[in-house]
Structure 1
């Protein structure tokens, strides 16, 4: 007995993760992201061809998509938090793929009946609305999958594993996304340039038909093969029941206290009634999700990351449509976006090295300011008279800035994974995506106001100002946490060395 008592308790370490299951996870994620990236790249080109010489349709689509995510993102996070992993997986894959099938098929109809706008404007608007709605549903479903895989499964799978596993998995997941961002636009651009837009829309539809069953098979193998996932799903379900009972109990007690009053404590009970109204308001799912988000220590980095979504400097639909209007071929835009993604993939290799050397916080600081410096090239392109040179400077500056952008993205995500409690991860992740979509919404709203491609420089300047604000906010967060931005003694030693060398 004494031997058992005196024996040191070693931390339990999970067995090594089966490499085959991790490959299944990564391939399933790849299939999902490839379809989303195909649609994301194509939709701007579809819209500028349906309504030439105007960014209105491209901006309107982006407005609908980002508004739906901004409004419903927190609810999607709560929904993911309240259902079992298997149920979320089923609804996510089915709704995402069906939505993109409908969107692709509707675009085919728009392209085949190119004179619909002039012959039957009501039917034209109805079809455009259907494209917008189906695209928005597809992106909301993609958000649910992102929360499930990136904010839940990756964290659960890495628990109990050696240090660095979470960082490595985050980097691989982001690398897959960027690989899709590289490959999907290049292939889609070549199909558009050398076959037709219609062929591109048909390819998108067929991809989602084929991918949905394979995705489900792969991800269910991961769920069944890693016991930690089923255990976590069970714990999440059991966690919800006591909470619901407590809320019901507290509500019942409040109702009793409101009934039992006399003339002397009338004013007190009236105050209680007012407090009850406020409390009920804060229990509204959307409101409670935002309150939970704002309480987090990482709210400032989250807002800084979201500000980077208020931008046209991203090879998104507005920038793609503008480049198309300037006469840049679709395959060139696709290649430029591919180069941008390659630089982003390089960020996923560099991030673990920097993170292990200078910490997650300081990696984020270095990253956001390096992005800012690269975007100075985009600002300089505004004053270049040659349109072709200006377009290539714009694409080059955006592509180079991806190194800092994606390292900053990884840094903020890992801070949220490390500092947000397990019970709040899905909700906080949903609100974070909602904030990002709200800023994305503002980008497309400005695109509708400034819809003339000749005025794209105004959107470029506004985007650069917002990136500057994001860098300043994150720097303030670093100063608040560490009480300094740089190690003063190291800077002083560097200056001394330079003086002595000279």
Structure 2
């Protein structure tokens, strides 16, 4: 599913750029037509899934007085806030389950990396255009980035099968941090509006996408394996809500630092978010495995222990 999504993201900008080079008006109508056609396909697909999965037709039982047809209890004189308290309790229940789950820290780390402008979205594309690149060059950069993301969806299963999802998640996230940290470091010696800095940013962001999707797949595997079946939908929905919150914060950073010459500040905030995410996931790894690195394999600990223990003879 990730590959299908990323492949569409690879083809779409190239196709629209070619149409736009011919006529912007035609490109606008093309986008409108494709969106209208995709809505019809999406509704048909949703209907097919609904008919093929009988469990979707089941209705959840009413669990509170506030949502039952006979909700006269919520109108008891002297207790006008009972309905509000009940509503707040129901609203906060998914968040309580989310925070108390054993994979919360891993999921939080994944959500935190959505606080970023280091992707080929509207914000970074605008910055690249301001730096002197044209739309065709930006489209080519996006192609390279999506190609790296596609590579991540093939690399991740191979590494996960070899070293497990926990260690692979740690490796992928650290790779992403190194890439975005290198891209952010380019702003220190040079002017933020130079094409050289923008080029370093593009390379760092493109390479970081391998780590991003590898880490995403690793965490999603952990969620599927460790969250109870009846709670997976609620957990994933809460995780998505948290991701949207961090994404809005990334938009807020560009509202505060709105001028192109200030783009380095959202970049620093984004790289800082990845750093905090790496710390959070390292905490989860140590909690689950008891260590971050194999001392025997990384520092020769097995040889040290062998020499320290006397021979039985």
- The TM-score, its normalising length taken from structure 2, stands at 0.85
1:241 to 43, 50, 61: 61
User: For the structure 1 residues 348 and 247, does the alpha-carbon distance in structure 2 shift closer, same or farther, using more than 3 Å as the test?
Assistant: same
In the aligned structure 2, how far is the partner of 1:175 from the partner of 1:301? 23
Cα RMSD (Å): 3.0
The answer for unaligned runs of 5 or more in structure 2 is 305-313
Which of residues 5, 14, 28 is equivalent to 1:186? 14
Question: Aligned residue for 1:208?
Answer: 35
Change (3 A) 1:492 1:318: same
Query: Which of 246, 250, 260 is the equivalent residue of 1:439?
Result: 246
Mark the CA change 1:212 to 1:370 in structure 2 (over 3 Å): closer, same or farther.
same
Taking the TM superposition and a 5 Å limit, the aligned residue runs for 1:34-433 are 173-192=1-20, 194-221=21-48, 224=51, 229-230=53-54, 232-234=55-57, 237=58, 240-241=60-61, 243=63, 280-284=86-90, 286-382=91-187, 383-385=189-191, 387-433=194-240
Mark the CA change 1:275 to 1:291 in structure 2 (over 3 Å): closer, same or farther: farther
1:211-234, CA deviations, whole angstroms, 9 ceiling, x for partnerless residues?
22233334544555x5xx22x324
Displacement after TM superposition at 1:460 (Å): 1.0
1:319 deviation in Å? 0.6
- Indicate how the Cα distance of structure 1 residues 357 and 494 shifts in structure 2: closer, same or farther if over 3 A, else same: farther
The answer to whether the 8 Å contact 1:374/1:401 transfers is yes
Q: TM-score, normalised by structure 1?
A: 0.54
1:428 to partner: Cα distance? 1.9
User: Comparing both structures, which one devotes a greater share of its residues to helix?
Assistant: 1
Q: 2:25 and 2:265 mapped to 1: Cα distance? A: 32
* Residues 426, 478 of structure 1: alpha-carbon distance in 2 compared, 3 angstrom cutoff: same
Counterparts in 2 of 1:494 and 1:375: CA distance versus 1, 3 Å: farther
Residues 10 and 147 in structure 2, CA contact (< 8 A), matched pair in contact too: yes
Cα separation, 2, equivalents of 1:276 and 1:489: 59
Contact between 1:189 and 1:333, CA under 8 Å: does it hold in 2?
no
**Residues in 2 aligned to 1:495 and 1:373: alpha-carbon distance in whole angstroms:** 29
* Distance in 2, Cα, partners of 1:338 & 1:315: 10
Deviates more, 1:208-217 or 1:353-362: 208-217
CA distance in 1, matches of 2:46, 2:267: 40
Unaligned runs of 5+ in 1: 1-172, 260-269, 498-502
Aligned pair in 2 of structure 1 residues 417, 274: CA closer, same or farther (>3 Å)? farther
The correspondence for 1:471, drawn from 278, 285, 301, is 278
1:481 & 1:299 partners in 2: Cα distance? 12
C-alpha contact (below 8 Å) 2:145/2:206 kept by paired residues:
yes
Cα distance in 2 for residues equivalent to 1:246 and 1:417: 32
Relative to structure 1, the CA distance from residue 394 to residue 496 in structure 2 (aligned partners, 3 Å threshold; closer, same or farther) is farther
Structure 1's 325 and 196: CA in aligned 2 closer, same or farther, altered over 3 A? farther
